[in-house]
Structure 1
């Protein structure tokens, strides 16, 4: 299956830009080694591109394998951003708030000058998410390695979040399953339950009318952490697809000049 010339060039530019944008990110040594090994796995079937090759000479297979490698680096960037101190807590876009059922309790605490109690609980949930997110590494590598020709074509010609949708479809449910016990361990380690009980103890009358019988904190943190991870991946994907500022190399300028 061949793309139109314009779309073909755009797709190639997307691959190069994804790789260029992701390569600028700082990496933790252990994650970098894992992702380098994954790159060899997903790109091993493709020979080296001749040094004098131009974008128009790249084959569909080379583009697809390049997209796989770029997506591996892209997910690594998101995981590194969130799986560290203040990765969630310090990012307003993905910061985990109190569950909706506890919003009135939070307002009450802040009204009586005890907002720090709510803040401690919020911080504990975000710390648990930060510890759990790196678990996504292996799962994403597996999903990307299993990408078919049709999958890649759908991503290349799809919407701004097509790659993110692919990852959600092929790894979202499994990611929640894997993260759940890790979140439970993390919530115990960082003291989420203790902070939760302290908050209720200090809320006084504000806590009396709140029904928390169906509130599963571990499930809530797991869902919020998973959503935050995919949200960050989608935002990065959209930025790369739409932002000309990211197209800084000579080859990208050449490709877009030919449109």
Structure 2
């Protein structure tokens, strides 16, 4: 083959490789969710964010309110209050491990029982989202919607959640187990008495765990196409 023919063939091969490489980059950019030239309008953004929050909060509430929703999740499990950790340590050493374990379990059971009551407050807060709020959330971090939600509703939820937690703790025996545990501790010689507002402690921990799970659901919707289960979510967050 003449040199000119070889050169022409080489150029053709190089062009083919370059075009293939360019096509690969285009597909990769699409896969990464390159922004479209025309995004969704304000109405669609607000509707999409509200739907995302509705789905996320519903999933979160269902996850934490099932059996072992708190107790079986090491990230949100309600542990022994730091204020009485010394009490637990002493009781474990003198043979009261079961009493300590039962108390921890009962706190988590109370949180699991109370969690469904948060749904109505989530729904109310979602309805109040404005166009400006939605745009900021859409352009914010992975948990921007969850953080917005916490800022706007935490106090209201806590005020309404606490009586339910208190009632649930009585139902599942938290208060009795706490008194039993503390009674055994205070019967020991040379120990100081300790006190704790259990209702507030469990309420705060239950809310922390619930909001954490809402944040995890929001991250899924933002980053995992499989979590965008409706056409509206696909339109707002991308396919």
Relative to the length of structure 1, the TM-score reads 0.70
Where 1:159 maps in the other structure, the secondary structure is: coil
- What is the aligned partner in structure 2 of residue 205 from structure 1? 188
- What is the aligned partner in structure 2 of residue 223 from structure 1? 204
> 1:64 Cα shift?
2.0
Where 1:223 maps in the other structure, the secondary structure is: helix
- What is the aligned partner in structure 1 of residue 100 from structure 2? 118
- What is the aligned partner in structure 2 of residue 26 from structure 1? none
> 1:111 Cα shift?
2.2
Q: Give distance in 2, aligned partners of 1:256 and 1:172.
A: 30
- What is the aligned partner in structure 2 of residue 87 from structure 1? 69
- What is the aligned partner in structure 2 of residue 152 from structure 1? 134
Judged with a 3 Å threshold, the aligned counterparts in structure 2 of structure 1 residues 103 and 242 are, in CA distance, closer, same or farther, namely same
Q: Give distance in 2, aligned partners of 1:198 and 1:154.
A: 50
Range with greater deviation from structure 2 (82-91 or 196-205) = 196-205
Q: Give distance in 2, aligned partners of 1:245 and 1:93.
A: 24
Where 1:205 maps in the other structure, the secondary structure is: coil
Question: Does the CA contact (< 8 Å) of 1:164 and 1:234 recur in 2?
Answer: yes
2:136 is the counterpart of 1:164: no
Judged with a 3 Å threshold, the aligned counterparts in structure 2 of structure 1 residues 58 and 118 are, in CA distance, closer, same or farther, namely same
Relative to the length of structure 2, the TM-score reads 0.75
Structure with larger Rg: 2
Where 1:139 maps in the other structure, the secondary structure is: helix
Judged with a 3 Å threshold, the aligned counterparts in structure 2 of structure 1 residues 247 and 167 are, in CA distance, closer, same or farther, namely closer
Extract unaligned runs of 5+ from structure 1: 1-5, 13-54
Deviations 1:98-140 (A, max 9, x none): 1111111111222233211111001111111111111111111
Q: Give distance in 2, aligned partners of 1:123 and 1:129.
A: 10
Deviations 1:72-113 (A, max 9, x none): 011000000011211111111111111111111111222233
2:131 is the counterpart of 1:135: no
Question: Does the CA contact (< 8 Å) of 1:11 and 1:156 recur in 2?
Answer: no
Extract unaligned runs of 5+ from structure 2: 1-29
- How many residue pairs are counted as aligned between the two chains? 204
Deviations 1:194-231 (A, max 9, x none): 1011112333438822431xx21111111111111111
Q: Give distance in 2, aligned partners of 1:96 and 1:158.
A: 30
Q: Give distance in 2, aligned partners of 1:11 and 1:88.
A: 38
Matched ranges for 1:26-105 at <5 A: 56=38, 58-105=40-87
